[in-house]
Each structure stands twice: as C-alpha cells, then as structure tokens.
Amino acid sequence: MPFQALTGEALADRLAEAVPDSVERADGDCVWVEPSQIAITAQFLRDDPGLDFQFLNAISAVDFIDSFDVVYHLTSFRQQHKGVVKARLHGRESLSLPSVYEVWRGADLQEREVWDLMGIRFEGHPNMKRIMLWEGFDGHPLRKDYL
C-alpha cells in the first residue's frame, strides 16, 4: 500500500458524516473546517479507524490581511495516508481557535508559536504563553502589517 494523499473531498465526506456542520468547503487536497469545530473534528480525525490521523505534522498559520488560515498537516502511519485540514478565521483582532492540545500533545509548542508570531490564541491550551519572544513584546511579528 503506497503512501498517498487524501483529497479534500474524501476528507470532507467523512467529516460531514461524523461531525455535522463542521465542513465549510473542500478543495483540491485540503478541507476547510468551521473554526469552532476544530477540536471535535481533530478528535474524530485521530480516533476514526478509517482516517486514523495519529500524527500531527505541523500547525501553520497564514496571514491574508482580512483573514487567517490555520493549516493542520496530518499523517496516518497505519493507513499510509496524509491529509490537510484548514480553518479560516476572519478579522484581525482577538482571534481565537479551540486548541487541539488534548488530541495531539505535539500541538503544544506549535500552538504557542502560532500565538507568539501570528497572534491567534488557542482556547484550552494549558500554557498559552509566548515562546520565541518575551512576554510583553508588542505585536506579532509574522503578521503582514508588522514591519
């Protein structure tokens, strides 16, 4: 069984069944998930035997000026596939997203990094502090308006 990438549609189908109202849209190789549902979705992604995303590769955030994308890259060792899940947050101020810390411990430092550099808070993270910069640093340097 070769290693393959799950398409956004395939992921969206599975998610729509299990977690209603979670999928915003699917396109190409990724699926957009309703931000408030991300933690529940993550739980399902990890525990569903068909998806079995045990491994969280990376959490990235992209600044699109009027919105932010948070990107989760996932891998399943047993099922030999990978998938991409995204959540889009609108606006620029006081952004927040449920933390997936309880699902994947690996999110610990990465969510802190996203908060530090992009300014997206993760609700439910036990230690939501800055990581690279010091507490009290003004602004979030990876944002496009930080010059």
Partner 1 sequence: MPIRTEPMTVNVGPQHPSTHGVFRLRITFDGEEILEVEPVFGYLHRGTEKLAEERNYVQVVTLTDRLDYVSSMINNQAYCLAVEQLLEVEPPDRGKYLRTIAAELQRIAAHLMGIGFFLQDLGTLGTPLMYCFRTREKILDLFEMLCGARITVSYLRPGGVFADAPEDFWPALDRFLTDLPGELSELEQLILENEIVMVRTRGVSTLPLDMAINSSVSGPVLRASGLAWDWRKAEPYDAYDRVEFDVPVAQNGDNYDRFWVRMQELHQSARIVRQCVEQIEPGPVRLDLPLVLRPEPGREAYGRVEASKGELAFYLFSDGGISPYRCKIRSPSLINLTVTEHLLVGWKLADMIVTLGSVDINMGEVDR
Partner 2 sequence: MNCVLAEDNILHGTPLLRWVYELAGLFLPCWLSYFIAGFVIMFILVNAVLLGAAVFVWTERRLVGRLQNRVGPNRWGPFGMFQPIADLLKLIVKEDLIPQGADKIAFVAAPIIMVATAILMLAVVPFAKNTALADLNVGVLYVLAVTSLTSVAILMAGWSSNNRYALFGAARGVAVLISYEVPVVLCLLGVVIVAGSMSLADVVTAQAVPFILVQPLAMFVFVAGTSAELNRTPFDVAEAESELIAGYHIEYSGIKFGLIQAAEFGGVVTASAVIATLFLSGWAGPASNYIGWLWLLIKIGVVAFLFIWIRATFPRLRIDQIMAFAWKFLMPLSFINLMAVSLEVYFLRDSSGALTTTDLWIMTVINLVVFAVCIPLFGSLIRDKVRPAQLQPTARATPGATVQQAGGEVT
Contact set with partner 2 (CB under 8 A): 1-3, 54, 77-80
Provide the 10 A C-beta neighbour count for residue 36: 14
* DSSP conformational letter for 7: P
* Shortest CB 106 distance to partner 2, Å: 15
Is 89 an interacting residue with respect to partner 1 (CB under 8 A)? no
Is 71 an interacting residue with respect to partner 1 (CB under 8 A)? yes
State whether the Cα torsion 26-87-21-91 is positive or negative.
negative
Is 45 an interacting residue with respect to partner 1 (CB under 8 A)? no
Beta strands in the chain (DSSP E): 4-5, 23-27, 30-33, 55-63, 67-76, 81-90, 95-98, 120-123
Task: Choose which of 39, 56, 85, 100 interacts with partner 1 (CB under 8 A).
Answer: 56
Residues that bind partner 1 (CB under 8 A): 3, 54-58, 60-63, 71, 73, 77, 80, 84, 104-110, 113, 117, 131-134, 141-142
